[in-house]
Amino acid sequence: MKTADKIAVSSGDIVTFRLTLTNQGPDTATGVEVSDRLPAGVIYQQDQPQQGAYDALTGSWKVGDVPANTSVTLLLIVRIK
């Protein structure tokens, strides 16, 4: 699931996207990787993965292993052009 902390934005605003990945089981998901490119009209500022690493150039979040019945979150902070 992907959400944003603002609905209406103006040029220069900072917006945080929250990407939540949930493994509903029954087993651990291994080697998880999620592709999520930033939309046009934004400038990447920083990322805050709860687990793994995000590559802003490719839009790839290499999460790793996610145990069953567990969620992990990636925050992507951008500035509106």
Structure confidence by residue, pLDDT tens digits, 16-63: 999 999 999 999 999 999 998 888 999 999 999 999 999 999 999 999
Q: Which domains are seen in the chain, by residue range?
A: 2-80 (2.60.40.1170)
CA distance linking residue 55 with residue 47, whole number of Å:
9
What residues contact residue 40 under an 8 Å CB cut-off, 6+ apart? none
pLDDT of residue 27: 98
**Amino acid identity, residue 61?**
W
Q: What is the pTM of this model?
A: 0.91
pLDDT of residue 39: 87
What DSSP string runs through the chain?
-EEES-SS--TT-EEEEEEEEEE--SS-EEEEEEE-PPPTTEEEEEEEESSSEEETTTTEEEEEEE-TTEEEEEEEEEEE-
